[in-house]
Amino acid sequence: MASPIQENLVSKNAEYASKFTKGDLALPPAKHYLVLTCMDARIDPAAAFGIDLGDAHVIRNAGGSARDALRSIIISQQLLGTKEIILIKHTGCGMLTFSNEDAHGLVKKNLGPSAAAEIATLDFLPIKNLDDAVKGDVEYLKRSAAVPEDVIISGWVYEVETGKVRRIV
Amino acid sequence: MASPIQENLVSKNAEYASKFTKGDLALPPAKHYLVLTCMDARIDPAAAFGIDLGDAHVIRNAGGSARDALRSIIISQQLLGTKEIILIKHTGCGMLTFSNEDAHGLVKKNLGPSAAAEIATLDFLPIKNLDDAVKGDVEYLKRSAAVPEDVIISGWVYEVETGKVRRIV
């Protein structure tokens, strides 16, 4: 039994695969960079940020958090040779709308005490100010001993209302 | 001074924004699901998995790891109302090519002892067998008290050679 979402995946993927011509791309990103952005449904990184298939790693998590992405960033750089990080957070981000206390409270209320205990030490990494969060994450990456000093790092905001990016740092 | 990668972002984004018409989408994903997949450069989730703008959260990390994504998954479900998880790993994944020892060794060799110390406890979450890793991550999510029991979870493999997905579990 497939759900409607699973049926959509199967039918749309069959269309995609029927026209697919890029089966011989190499594993390491051809343009040696990575994009780190939010999981937000209103962002299509390939289209909005001009990433051709095979060119860049794309890391996405709630808020486009650099801390949360550190494992993936190290792998991207040390094992797959990327040399530049484009960090893009966005307007209207859900991470601006709650605190750690709110999130832990919701889990306890909705899922019960065993769920709350399972994630008791989890930092949900909410943010208070968008531009400051971009600057803070870029600083975090620049300070991290696990990110080489010659890696180029820039920080941006994507506007979900206009489709435009603007550079912060 | 903009790097060539940054110039590409600015010019391609200007093109995208000039035709952008979806500035009024809501924050919660319209189709109430999330896709979790790898950061691999050869995957374009929107195109390959049939995700229209605004429909689904897309979480991406090295290997499409469910453990690594747990923070984002909880936020997606508890704060933004998603009810289904589509987990997609892929053929030719870089995570099949090294061990934790390899990765820690590379960091120490390339970045020195202070970097190695900074990430000494980091699990890089490499995988040994693709289909088993999909099954294992689906099991992990089903067992997690932080993921409600009524969430629909399926596990897939995307073939970077053909553009096709196949269901594992």
Q: How confident is the model at residue A125 (pLDDT cuts 50, 70, 90)?
A: very high
A118 Cβ contact partners less than 8 Å away, ≥ 6 residues apart: B144, B145, B146
pLDDT at A1: 82
pLDDT exceeds 90 at position B39:
yes
Top residue of B5, B123, B159 to mutate, by most chain A CBs within 10 Å, is B5
Beta-carbon contacts below 8 Å between A and B: 262
In this prediction, residues A123-146 reach a mean pLDDT of 97
Search chain A and give the residue with CA nearest B143.
A115
User: CB under 8 Å, gap of 24 or more: what pairs does B98-107 form?
Assistant: B98/A79, B98/B124, B98/B126, B99/B126, B100/B124, B100/B126, B103/A74, B103/A75, B103/A78, B103/A79, B106/A78, B106/A79, B107/A74, B107/A78, B107/A146
pLDDT digits (tens, 9 = 90+) for B14-30: 999 999 999 999 999 99
Give A28-96+127-167's CATH code, choosing from 3.40.1050.10, 3.40.190.10, 3.30.70.3000, 3.30.70.980. 3.40.1050.10
**Residues in chain B within 8 Å Cβ distance of A101:** none
pLDDT at B166: 98
What DSSP element (H or E) covers A106?
helix A100-111
Contact of B106 with A78, CB cutoff 8 Å: yes
B101 in contact with A at a CB cutoff of 8 Å? no
ipTM of the complex: 0.98
For the annotated binding site of B for Zn(2+), the residues are: 38, 40, 90, 93
Class of domain B29-167: alpha beta
pLDDT at B133: 98
Domain boundaries, chain A: 28-96+127-167
In this prediction, residues A71-94 reach a mean pLDDT of 98
pLDDT exceeds 90 at position B1:
no
B115 in contact with A at a CB cutoff of 8 Å? yes
pLDDT digits (tens, 9 = 90+) for B127-137: 999 999 999 99
DSSP character at residue B96: G
Search chain B and give the residue with CA nearest A77.
B107
**Residues in chain A within 8 Å Cβ distance of B60:** 58-61
pLDDT exceeds 90 at position B3:
yes
